[in-house]
Structure 1
Amino acid sequence: MDSNDIGELRLEGFLPYRLSNIAERISQALSLIYAEQFDLTIAQWRILAWLQQERTLSAKRICELTAMDKARVSRAVNQLVERNLIQRQRDDEDQRTLWLSLAPSGRDLLKEVVPRALDWEADIVATLSATEYRDLLRLLSKVEKGLARLDSPTVSTAPGTD
């Protein structure tokens, strides 16, 4: 870094900005596929995708996995239940817990949506080689681990504590 640049923030080189910008652009562009063609919001899509992957989840766990707030998840879950795309089942041992899973119509919908989303992703990363794509995912995992370390209550971020 040039000494004249010390203390100057250049957004095109600031990782949090770049990742946020890319994530928002990707999410908005991808949402056109499932919003216009399948009448799904971003929140609904994320919930369906996680339920497809994990089979059964609580709303609390969905909040953790998607980084969406409780109100947004609750609203999306209610809408998906109303559309009969997911189903709720009360936990036998803890009546406060509701387990969410895909309804048959939700699985059918995902059979249409997922291939389109995967094709769209392939178009985005078409400029990368297979090795570059694997490296990108590996590097993003490392950044996520660094973020998790910073989020940990045992890690001090005070100056001079490293």
Structure 2
Amino acid sequence: MLRPTLLLDEFLPFRLSFTSNLVSECVARTYEALFGLTIPEWRVVAVVAEAGGVTQAMIGARTRMDKVTVSRAAIALVERSLVVRTRNPGDGRSHLLDLSPAGRALYAQVAPKALELEQRIFAELPAGEIERFVATLRRIDAITTALETER
């Protein structure tokens, strides 16, 4: 597999990033048009909906978004009264984020759209191929996580 020269379009890290960006841009246009949400805001809403009572650091770890991106998204969502911040009793330096009633209502609208969009994007791939693809992505996640700990 080792090639003597780097060809960007054949470089797998680039291909992953390129395709991920295409999918994210498609999703972003939909969320922005229908719900006025950016991708980071949607990711914060989704993590908070799944877990509830989470810190921004937990959201960053779960989504791989940097602190500044998570913070800006959380601030925007609090300003829109979609997320509520409360002091973290376990750590006075952080806050817990939860969805407000308006945030839960928004999530109830966005989640089905997200699933519909996922279906539209991947509809032409057979189920077995998607399962293998997800398994491969998870293996890549594990390998790169292990590489990070080596540094």
- 1:58-117 per-residue CA deviation (whole Å, 9 max, x = no partner) reads 011112222222122111111101111111111224321211111111110111111111
1:140 aligns with 2:137: yes
Using the alignment, how far apart are the partners of 1:95 and 1:106 within structure 2? 25
| 1:89 aligned to which of 82, 86, 91 | 86
Q: Does 1:58 align with 2:55?
A: yes
How many residues align structurally?
151
Residue from 31, 40, 43 that aligns with 1:46: 43
Indicate yes or no: 2:143 matched with 1:150. Answer: no
Shift, 1:130, TM fit? 1.2
Q: Take 2:89 and 2:53, find their aligned partners in 1: how far apart are those partners?
A: 14
The answer as to 2:50 corresponding to 1:70 is no
Unaligned 5+ segments in structure 2 are none
Which of 96, 99, 110 aligns to 2:107? It is 110
- What are the ranges of 5 or more consecutive residues in structure 1 without an aligned counterpart? 157-162
| Deviation of the 1:134 alpha carbon | 0.8
Distance 1:45 1:146 in 2: 27
* Identical-residue share of aligned pairs (%): 36
Q: After TM superposition, give the deviation of residue 44 of structure 1 in Å.
A: 0.4
Q: What is aligned with 1:123?
A: 120
Q: TM-score scaled by structure 1?
A: 0.87
The answer as to 2:8 corresponding to 1:11 is yes
Which of the residues 27, 32, 37 maps onto 1:30?
27
**CA RMSD after TM alignment:** 1.5
Q: Which amino acid in structure 2 is aligned with residue 80 of structure 1?
A: L
Whole-angstrom CA distance in 1 between matches of 2:39 and 2:91: 30
Q: Which consecutive aligned stretches of 4+ in structure 1 deviate over 6 angstroms post-superposition?
A: none
TM-score under structure 2 length normalisation: 0.93
Q: CA deviation at 1:120?
A: 0.9
C-alpha distance in 2 between matches for 1:60 and 1:6: 39
Structure 2 match to 1:160 = none
Q: Secondary structure at the match of 1:87?
A: strand
Rg (Cα) greater in structure? 1
- Output the amino acid matched with 1:34: Y
Q: Distance in 1 between matches of 2:78 and 2:107?
A: 15
Classify 1:93/1:65 alpha carbon distance in 2 versus 1 (closer, same or farther; 3 Å): closer
